[in-house]
Structure 1
Amino acid sequence: VHSPSRSLLPRPPPTMTSPPKQDKQSLCVDILVGGHVQAYVDFFYLTHRPEPAASGERAAASAAAPDQQPQAPASQLAFIKNKLTEAEVARRQGDTRAVFGAYKQLANLFSQQLDDHKTAVYFWEKCNEIARLTGDTECEMEASRALGIAHEALGDTKLALTYYEKLQRLTADASASDDEKKAWVLLYNANVVLAEAATAAGDLHEALALRQTCLNAATSAGDKELIGKAHYEMGQAHERLRDLEELYKAIKHYEPYLKICEELGDDAGQGAACFALAQAHQRLEDSSRSQAYLQRFLEAATASGKLPMQAEACCSLGVLYNTQGDFARAVEYLERFFDLARQLGDKHMLDKARAYLGIARGNSMLPEYQHLVTTDLNALLAWKNRRVPFVKTQ
């Protein structure tokens, strides 16, 4: 009996090389085997945070532990491990730019993809320290800007402001005009947030001081649109102080805002400026100027095509003419206000327009009514019984 040939015997399946494991434990071991101690420490803390609460417990957990940070997804663990080891190797070799680049990529991962700004701050602080120690102004500016944005995202606007102020100083020293303008814009935006918070808290004098800082920042940035907005908000801040002298100061800010809006062709801004000026002059009992600005407000509102602005302008003009005793014009503008309210479908505005128009029409008919009461009782009864229109007898 012949033994079968070796070539005819079934061959064992080829051995497959299994891919390296990507779980936390295996990656931690890989980092330690490679001798990257600092990378291991960072990776361990990043990957061994408390697990996020289940959906039913999330609200209670967030209240009890507001600083709890999200877990990095498994798909990103290898990337995090590689960047941490790259940073440690580059540090040993004295390549500070490579260290900065690795930490920057990690910071961007946590802020932009994982919405974990607290961890992003940790890596941006490392970047900032490296740039500061090596005298790398360009990298220090980038880190300062990113730290300001991250702290704003975390709700700490005051701390963000310190980084923006540092950024502005760095850009000024480096004569980087474009970067300096961007730094002033960031300072403007941060101070706007603080001013709004001060206003909401009722600290109106602090809000006014912050609005002045906003105006200074906008002026330094050379941004006309921001300068205009800052002037408008300064005017509003002065008005909130409820003092006659503050009204005059408010007008001094509304006027340049109007001029800037005219230069930029901003119809909506022109309307807002004219309305603010009209209201201020009306409070100062200067009806002629108030009326002139309201007419300009209506023109700007019509040019912008914004019906709510047109309605506001017509309402204000109607009320002003009614106050002045020009009831025919009051009725004219309040009828337009009523029509615009119907077009907008705003029930509250429609009720207001109906009431104002009724008052104006009543005022316009009052002289004839008084004449009939005193001279023509039959005509008065005819109007009362059958709504026969008044006919004023000579």
Structure 2
Amino acid sequence: MAEAEVAPEPPAPPAAPEEATQLAEAPEAAVRHQAEETAVAFPSDEDLMEVEEADMKPEKPDDRLLKVKGLDKQQLCIDLLMVGCVQSYVDFFYITHRKAPPKEGSSEEVKDVVIPEETLIFLKETLEQAETARRLRSYLQCYESYNSLAEFFEKVPDLKSAMYFYQRCADVAAEVDAWESISKANLNLGSCEEQGGNWQSAMQYHEKALEIATSADSLPLQIKAASRLTTVCQVLAEQCEKDGQDVEAAQLYERCLSSAQLSKDAALEGSACHKLGLSKHKTGNYEQAVELQKQYLEICRIHEDRVGESAARAALAQAFEATGDTPEAIKQLENLLSVASEAGELKAQAGACLNLGILYNSRGNHEKSVELLEQHFDLARQIGDRKLIDSARVVLGMVRGNGKLKAYINMVNNDLEKLLKWKSKRATLDS
């Protein structure tokens, strides 16, 4: 009677981190034993013959692997164990057994992500190179291998896996105190968090990158980290403003300014001054607001930024008006009107005309006030904003009415005949 064939055992699960450490330190026999437990079957004699024939021809390692009959994830896992790269085996297993995101409203079973053979080989070989280099204390090659994997997953995009390998880069660099490389890794980790919308975590990574780059006296990295940190802090500050947390927003804008100054980017520094100045104005610190807007104005004038200069003068006018310095506020608004006209900024011109008209009206200069508000009304019509047009019409009508109020009261009290003509024939009050 023929003996019954014994079914092969199912593949074993990936080694846990503790097991991986033990396997890494085990002799070759232990590694081979683990491979035998994991594998369903080694390649057949026919497969090996095909490989030997293929080896006779000059070709790339990738081509050889692709021609192995029945190439799959399991075989590549075995190959990693056979060369003693246990940590790479664990990484490769989990990467290649990721589940595809479920489709909305679908009841189908979630399956593993489908990975092309070329990508499988790239992952396997790069992981093997990284672990082998780390074992041989070849820091640069190990760092570059893990960085290649991180960049690959960032482009996919698979941010979780990308961050996993960027963290590996940081760990490898830390082993040899390569501070610039540690800073780069943290900068990349922060960028991944930005892409995921995790702004608080991104800020922490960029702060660490900036601190290390500054300590290492690496100016290019310092500039890059400071620039990213400025952007992230600004996003967080704007979120605080939306939530009504003005004090917290001001603190974040201060962090924006300090990092922008380290970025050596004048435009970034000017914008940070402007944002912080507006925040200080909102929290009632008008003197600080004035100083910050003056800094912004100076930067804009040096770089001939007419649009920025318009914004700076508008903010300065508001700050001076809040401090009670009306003449200086009027001066800034008149300059704003001139600059905005040169820059073709209709909204800035309209805002300047409106504020100037109101200020002149409060100082009793009725004719100048009406002239400016009429200009404001014309600009509103050019802009085409219906709400702005309606608002401009109302303000102009009120100021015109206030200007004639004294004449109307005098007519009611002293000139009955003129009052009747005004009521019956709509004669003007000045006639």
Coarse TM-score class (shorter-chain normalised): 0.7 to 0.9
Residue 230 (structure 1) aligned with residue 272 (structure 2):
yes
Establish whether residue 126 from structure 1 lines up as the match of residue 168 from structure 2: yes
Q: Relative to structure 1, is the Cα distance of residues 319 and 23 closer, same or farther in structure 2, using a 3 angstrom cutoff? A: farther
Name the counterpart of 2:387: 348
2:119 aligned with 1:76, yes or no? yes
Q: Within the alignment, does 1:50 sit opposite 2:109 as a pair?
A: no
Residue 108, structure 1, aligned to residue 147, structure 2: no
| 1:282 aligned partner | 321
Return the match for 1:140 from 182, 185, 196: 182
Residue of structure 1 equivalent to 2:300: 261
Q: Which blocks of at least 5 consecutive residues in structure 2 are unaligned?
A: 1-49, 55-65
What is the CA deviation profile of residues 138-193 of structure 1, one whole-angstrom value per residue up to 9, with x for unaligned ones? 32232121122223333443433343333334333433223222232233233323
Structure 1 distance, partners of 2:191, 2:415, is 77
How far residue 31 of structure 1 moved from its aligned partner, in angstroms, is 4.3
Q: Which amino acid aligns with 2:369?
A: A
Q: CA deviation at 1:353?
A: 0.6
Say whether the 8 Å CA contact 1:22–1:77 is kept in structure 2.
no
Query: What is the distance in 1 between the residues matched to 2:180 and 2:294?
Result: 40
- Aligned equivalent of 1:329: 368
Shift of 1:29: 4.9
CA contact (8 A) 1:46 1:72 kept: no
The CA RMSD measured in Å over matched residues stands at 3.0
Q: Note if contact 1:103-1:126 (Cα within 8 Å) is conserved in structure 2.
A: yes
| One-letter code aligned to 1:312 | G
**What is the DSSP-based 3-state SS (H/G/I as helix, E as strand, rest coil) of the residue aligned with 1:56?**
coil
User: What displacement does 1:127 show?
Assistant: 0.8
Count of matched residue positions in the alignment of Structure 1 and Structure 2: 364
Match of 2:60 in 1: none
> How do residues 73-222 of structure 1 correspond to structure 2 at under 5 angstroms?
73-74=115-116, 76-111=119-154, 113-222=155-264
Alpha-carbon offset, residue 251 of structure 1: 1.5
For the structure 1 residues 73 and 329, does the alpha-carbon distance in structure 2 shift closer, same or farther, using more than 3 Å as the test? farther
Deviates more, 1:233-242 or 1:369-378: 369-378
**TM-score after normalising by structure 2:** 0.75
Decide whether aligned partners of structure 1 residues 57 and 316 sit closer, same or farther in structure 2, where only a CA change above 3 A counts: farther
Offset of residue 121 of structure 1: 0.8
Classify 1:390/1:23 alpha carbon distance in 2 versus 1 (closer, same or farther; 3 Å).
farther
2:179 aligned partner, one-letter code? T
- Alignment check: 8 A CA contact 1:72 1:114 kept: no
Give the deviation of 1:122 after TM superposition: 0.2
Distance 2:336 2:113 in 1: 54
Q: CA deviation at 1:376?
A: 4.4
* 1:114 maps to amino acid: V
CA contact (8 A) 1:275 1:297 kept: yes
SS at match of 2:99: coil
Q: Quick check: 1:191–1:213 contact (8 Å CA) kept in 2? A: yes
- Cα distance in structure 2, aligned partners of 1:108 and 1:385: 83
Counterpart code for 1:187: L
TM-fit CA distance, 1:73: 4.7
Judge conservation of contact 2:96–2:115 (CA < 8 Å) in 1.
no
Partner AA of 1:48 in structure 2 = H
Q: CA deviation at 1:30?
A: 5.0
CA distance in 1, matches of 2:288, 2:228: 27
Residue 387 of structure 1 deviates from its aligned partner by 3.5
C-alpha change, 1:76 and 1:314, in structure 2 (3 Å) is farther
Offset, 1:35: 5.2
Shift of 1:34: 5.7
Take 2:100 and 2:241, find their aligned partners in 1: how far apart are those partners?
39
Distance 2:73 2:364 in 1: 82
Shift, 1:355, TM fit: 0.5
> What are the ranges of 5 or more consecutive residues in structure 1 without an aligned counterpart?
1-14, 59-67
Render the CA deviation track for 1:53-108: whole Å, top value 9, x for unaligned. Answer: 113369xxxxxxxxx9x947537333323322332333344433222112111111
Deviation, structure 1 residue 129: 0.8
- The secondary structure found in structure 1 opposite 2:331 is helix
Report how far residue 386 of structure 1 moved: 4.3
8 A contact 1:80–1:106 mirrored in 2: yes
For 1:285 and 1:165, how far apart are their aligned partners in 2? Answer: 40
Q: Is the 8 A contact 1:38 1:88 kept in 2?
A: yes
Of the three residues 381, 390, 396, the one matched with 1:357 is 396
Counterpart amino acid of residue 232 in structure 1: H
Q: How does 1:231-250 map to 2 (within 5 A)?
A: 231-242=273-284, 246-250=285-289
1:275 is paired with a residue of what secondary structure? helix
CA contact (8 A) 2:133 2:141 kept: yes
Task: State the alpha-carbon separation in 2 of the partners of residues 373 and 270 from structure 1.
Answer: 49
Per the normalisation by structure 1, the TM-score is: 0.81
Does residue 38 (structure 1) correspond to residue 87 (structure 2)? The answer is: yes
The answer to which of 38-47 and 368-377 deviates more is 368-377
